[in-house]
Amino acid sequence: MHLMSTRVKIVIFVVIVLALAGTSILFYRFFSGNNQSSSSKSQITPQQEVNALTIYDWWTSPSESTAIHDLINVFEAQYPDVAIAASPVTGGAGFNMMPVVSSLAAAGQAPDAFQMHAGYEARPYFDAGLLSQIDDIWSSQGLKQVMPDIIQQMCQFDGHFYSVPVDVHRSNVIWYNKKILDRYHIDPATLTTWNALFSAADKLRANGISTPIQMGESWTAAQVFETMVAGEGIDFYQDWINGKVTSSDDPKMIDALKTFKKYLSYTNSDSGSLTWDAAVDRVVKEQGAFDLMGDWADGEFKLVGMQYGKDYGSIVAPGTQGVYGLVVDTFQHPKGISHPTNSDRWLEVVASRAGQDAFNPAKGSISSRSDSDATKYDTYQRSAMSDFKSASHYFPSVTNGSGAPREFELNYIAIMGNFVADQNILKAADAMASTTFKTLSDYNRVWSL
Ligand code: GAL
């Protein structure tokens, strides 16, 4: 066996030292500095910066991919020389994408921007020192003048901006197949209480539609249930997201669980393995009449050529009339990224009137800007715009990342998954109270709805 020559050993040693140095620089770039004083300006000089942009999102359903492509087209029209690498990760509400982005970030390879809900979901990234402060973008683009206060607050930590919104979705909507309701003489305007909805479901079942309400995997069950919590009153919802519902026999929580148990008696038994858009598709195909889902469902109905008011329609979930469940998607400028100039350009396009009026019409959402061009939006969206303006209260969705700390949210979704399976009210109420109690120290934002 040959022994290594001294020269080979030296070369190997130098390679190892350089590799270690490179790794530490990457880690330093990610975790050094503090959020409060950092700005989005990177130390990479323009000469070093490759003209590229990497983006991650979870918009993979047919209407979602249409919407993100429409937004990318606006960017490309302004910056035709930028090479864009968009990486969509399947999995509604981002539960698959988030771990992917977190690992990339920890390895020093965060994308230049990624989809992230406003509010609590951004907190772990902020705490890890991963987000650049972007007050400069908010002021250079005049965003404070056109974004509603509640959305501004949701994009801030400690009084500074760390993200820009691209949309405002509504969570508390029940979608229906209008042909089915017409056929059985069900007037959607009468479905203002859960009991009225359940009576309509009974009627449909008596006419052979065995699962009149369609529901998807556990996060969608959690979104149904949080809507029922909101239906117990905005003050109760506010207490819930402020971590104040810590008793396992809270009468409003028990009442909401009873409503949910009854609701489940009308839903499909394969919900646990059904994606949100597959559940919508069943309503499209008349296999079910109703589906409580955020208004990203509007995009799916529309894309298959259905017309709002003629083929499908929506009602505000019982008990939540006049209040608006908020789901807000944002992008940000992660620290230490390879293409900081293009990250900033992306944020400017995301927040712009042209960008939002290209993205939201296909997505089902409304623009987060008050100066959007309403003529570009459909009948549902125009009614959502007016509901948004006149809402008495807004409640941030827990399921979709905004309302409560991340650990609570993940536990809550697991509790709802279990509840769908065992429908044990006392067990669920107890699990919910105890997870609130265990995560109390994470509640660092006081919502005043
Ligand atoms: C929400 C997100 C929406 C939509 C939906 C389904 O959390 O905010 O934009 O994508 O998930 O994936």
Question: Tens digits of per-residue pLDDT, 342-368?
Answer: 999 999 999 999 999 999 999 999 999
For the chain, the residue count is 449
Query: What pLDDT band is residue 44 in, cutting at 50, 70 and 90?
Result: low
Pocket test for ligand 1, best of 329, 406, 410, 413 (most atoms within 8 A of CB): 329
The single-letter DSSP state of residue 60 is -
pLDDT higher than threshold 80 for residue 13: no
DSSP H or E run through 357: helix 353-363
Does residue 22 carry a pLDDT above 50?
no
Neighbours of 346 (CB within 10 A): 26
Ligand 1 lined by 162 (C-beta under 6 Å): no
Protein residue whose Cα sits closest to atom 1 of ligand 1: 93
Q: Residue 31: is its pLDDT beyond 70?
A: no
**Best of 368, 400, 406, 410 to mutate for ligand 1, by most ligand atoms within 8 A of CB?**
400
Residue 12 has pLDDT above 50, yes or no: no
Q: How far is the CA of 305 from the centre of ligand 1 (A)?
A: 21
How is 264-332 classified by DSSP, letter by letter? HTTB-TTGGG--HHHHHHHHHTTS-SEEE--THHHHHHHHTT--BTTTEEEEEPTT-TTEEEEE-EEE-
Asked if residues 403 and 396 have their Cβ atoms less than 8 Å apart, the reply is: yes
pLDDT beyond 90 at 5: no
Q: What is the DSSP letter of 142?
A: T
Instruction: Tell me if 298 CB under 6 Å of ligand 1.
Output: no
170 CB less than 6 Å from ligand 1?
Answer: no
The two three-digit tokens of residue 321, written as one number? 């009339």
Is the pLDDT reported for residue 9 higher than 70?
A: no
Q: How many CB atoms lie within 10 A of CB 373?
A: 13
Note the pTM of the prediction, 2 decimals: 0.90
Residue keyed to tokens 């800007």: 369
Residue type, 92: G
Cα–Cα distance for residue pair 16/24, rounded to 1 Å? 12
pLDDT over 70 percentage in the chain: 90
Burial 76-101 (b: 16+ CB within 10 A, else e): eeebeebeeebebbebbbbbebbebb
| Residue 33: band (very low, low, confident or very high) from pLDDT cuts 50, 70, 90 | very low
Pocket test for ligand 1, best of 59, 223, 406 (most atoms within 8 A of CB): 59
Q: Which helix (H) or strand (E) holds 437?
A: helix 425-438
pLDDT confidence of residue 17 = 36
Q: Which atom of ligand 1 is nearest to 363's Cα?
A: 9
The answer to whether 92 and 216 have CB atoms below 8 angstroms apart is yes
**pLDDT at residue 446, as a whole number:** 96
Ordered DSSP codes for 195-237: HHHHHHHHHHHHTT-S--B---SHHHHHHHHHHHHHHT-HHHH
Which residue CA neighbors atom 6 of ligand 1 most closely? 92
Residue closest via CA to ligand 1's atom 2 equals 93
Q: Is 64 in the pocket of ligand 1 (CB under 6 A)?
A: yes
Mean pLDDT across the chain: 91
pLDDT above 70 (res 275)? yes
DSSP character at residue 141: T
Beta strands in 107-190 (DSSP E): 113-114, 116-117, 156-157, 160-161, 164-165, 169-170, 173-177
**Centre of ligand 1 from the C-alpha of residue 130, in Å:** 23
Cα–ligand 1 centroid distance for 304 (angstroms): 19
Rounded CA separation 173/297 (Å) = 9
Higher-confidence residue: 138 or 30?
138
With a 6 A CB cut-off, is 327 part of the ligand 1 pocket? yes
For residue 18, is pLDDT > 60? no
How many DSSP H helices and E strands does the chain contain? Answer: 19, 14
User: Which of 18 and 46 is assigned the larger pLDDT?
Assistant: 46
pLDDT of residue 144: 98
The Cα 169–Cα 351 span in angstroms is 15
Q: Give pLDDT, residue 46.
A: 52
Question: Is residue 47 very low, low, confident or very high in pLDDT (cuts 50, 70, 90)?
Answer: low
Percent of the chain with pLDDT over 90: 88
**Is the confidence at residue 230, as pLDDT, over 70?**
yes
Q: Is 402 in the pocket of ligand 1 (CB under 6 A)?
A: no
For residue 401, give the ligand 1 atom closest to its CA.
7
Angle at 397 between CA 391 and CA 401, to 5 degrees: 140
Q: How far is the CA of 444 from the centre of ligand 1 (A)?
A: 24
The span from the CA of 376 to the CA of 237, in Å, is 34
**Short-list 415, 424, 420, CA closest to 271:** 420
Read off the pLDDT of each residue in 70-93 and give the average, rounded to a whole number: 98
Residue 32 in this model has a pLDDT that exceeds 80: no
pLDDT digits (tens, 9 = 90+) for 391-410: 999 999 999 999 999 999 99
At 45, the pLDDT band (50, 70, 90 cuts) reads low
Mean pLDDT on 275-291: 98
- What confidence tens digit (pLDDT) does each residue in 177-194 have? 999 999 999 999 999 999
| pLDDT beyond 60 at 160 | yes
383 Cα distance to chain centroid: 21
Q: Which amino acid type is present at position 171?
A: S
Distance CA 230, CA 343 (A): 37
Supply the pLDDT for residue 48: 74
pLDDT of residue 19: 39
CA angle 380, 381, 383 (to 5 degrees): 65
* Model confidence band, residue 6 (pLDDT cutoffs 50, 70, 90): very low
Which ligand 1 atom sits nearest the alpha carbon of residue 296? 4
Q: Does residue 132 carry a pLDDT above 90?
A: yes
Using the atom order of ligand 1, give the atom closest to the CA of residue 276: 6
Residue 400 Cβ contacting ligand 1 at under 6 Å = yes
CA distance linking residue 362 with residue 365, whole number of Å: 8
In short, whether 291's Cβ falls inside 6 Å of ligand 1 is no
Q: Is the pLDDT reported for residue 35 higher than 50?
A: no
Q: How far apart are CA 370 and CA 360, in angstroms?
A: 13
- Say what the pLDDT of residue 274 is: 98
According to DSSP, residue 82 is labeled: P
